[in-house]
Amino acid sequence: MIKIEQADRLKQLPPYLFAELDRKKAEAQDRGVDVIDLGVGDPDLPTPDNIIEALAAAAKEPRYHRYPSYTGMNNFREAVARWYKQRAGVDLHPLKEVVSLIGSKEGIAHIPLAFINPGDVALVPSPAYPVYAIATMFAGGTPHEMPLVKENNFLPDLTAIPAEVLDKAKMMFLNYPNNPTAAPATVEFFKTVVDFAVKHNIMVCHDFAYSEMTFEGYVPPSFLETPGAKDVGIEFHSLSKTYNMTGWRIGWAAGNAEIIGGLGRIKSNIDSGIFEAIQVAGIEALEGDQQCLTDMRTIYTERRDVLVGGLKKLGIKAEAPNATFYVWFEVPEGYTSASFAGLLLDKAGIMATPGNGFGAPGEGYVRMALTVSKERLAEAVERMAKIGF
């Protein structure tokens, strides 16, 4: 038997947040607990029928069974470019400024490998999706946290970044509408980001995964519609949340051609692209009947109102988000993020995500996902009322 020792890059990582949540959920279920899972943002709604039918038809085509292109089918990338033109007025060269991804997580995880050297810094928001910092560390870089706090509307304060950090900074990750806080970004903020990036020679990677999951007619701006954005950065997007396709693994990156080219070089050495039948289905998602978006927004609006209204009746400071399917709220006085999330699981069978799991500035908050029916959300509120806190 040889001695098996993990690489240092794995030893320095904390447990992956969502894997840890899965473990805790499984333990509770093994004890016989009926868990209401509001922890992980995995849509419970089905993929629309027209998208499934497009996949089924394409899967019968032998031409789609061979190795796919690393960067994506031309037809799919052209559909992405048309989507940007229609939605945000952004012109993209589909073959130079768009690359397909096996879900946006794959691209986010790989982009630092293309541009970050040991000693370089990536500016990452906190609290945030953990992959921004983890990917930077895997590439040998150092993540520098930009705190997202309520007092600044959960936008990073770019003026607070130390000069010695800026000297080493090569990349910045942003994500709006934001996970976990559900905060929006303004056009003015993105203009500030572009000017900041030009001044300090920093490439911007914006995660736009929740762009279509909105309420009351809100339309989040794309980073790429900001004047000068394509000179400094790219935007990641995914069909996972918009069309309930989390398991399909299809997304893209779009924007600056040099950055897209670098990401494409990493991909060509690591993966073999997306199954082309799924890309055909992706085209149908983007260009087929969009009634599913209206239906999705209606359902999540009802769920949001049930949960937020219930939390407020319990005396919890919860605000209704205008985008994403997350509710981010302050824990009751006397609790930490972890202790309150633990109370919910142990005493009420409710899985919620402690805010500090997304980074230290998330301490004092809990995130709940609207990924169960409104009836189950009402039940969750009833369970919380019974335990008291």
Interior/surface letters 113-150, b for 16+ CB within 10 angstroms, e for the rest: bbbbeeebbbbbbbbbbbbbbbbbbbbebbbbbbbbee
Task: Identify which of 106, 71, 112 has the alpha carbon closest to the alpha carbon of residue 238.
Answer: 106
pLDDT for 11 equals 84
Mean pLDDT confidence for 49-53? 98
Mean pLDDT confidence for 88-104? 98
pLDDT for 94 equals 98
Q: What is the dihedral of CA 58, 59, 64, 68, to 10 degrees?
A: 110
pLDDT for 24 equals 78
Q: 49 phi and psi, to 5 degrees?
A: -60, -40
pLDDT for 80 equals 98
Q: What is the dihedral of CA 368, 371, 375, 380, to 10 degrees?
A: -30
Q: Which has more pLDDT, 156 or 7?
A: 156
Whether 244 shows a pLDDT value over 90: the answer reads yes
Which pLDDT tens digit goes with each residue over 255-312? 999 999 999 999 999 998 999 999 999 999 999 999 999 999 999 999 999 999 999 9
Whether 18 shows a pLDDT value over 90: the answer reads no
Q: Which helix (H) or strand (E) holds 145?
A: strand 142-147
Cα–Cα distance for residue pair 321/23, rounded to 1 Å: 28
Written as six digits, the tokens of 2 are: 């040889």
Mean pLDDT confidence for 215-223? 97
Mean pLDDT confidence for 71-79? 97
Q: Is the pTM of this model over 0.85?
A: yes
Whether 15 shows a pLDDT value over 90: the answer reads no
**Rg of the chain's alpha carbons, rounded to an integer?**
21
Domains (range + CATH), the chain: 14-43+291-387 (3.90.1150.10), 49-287 (3.40.640.10)
Whether 14 shows a pLDDT value over 80: the answer reads no
Share of residues in the chain with pLDDT > 90 (%): 90
Strands 365-369 and 326-330: antiparallel
Q: Which has more pLDDT, 315 or 389?
A: 315
Going by pLDDT thresholds of 50, 70 and 90, the confidence category of residue 29 is confident
Task: Identify which of 222, 269, 279 has the alpha carbon closest to the alpha carbon of residue 102.
Answer: 279
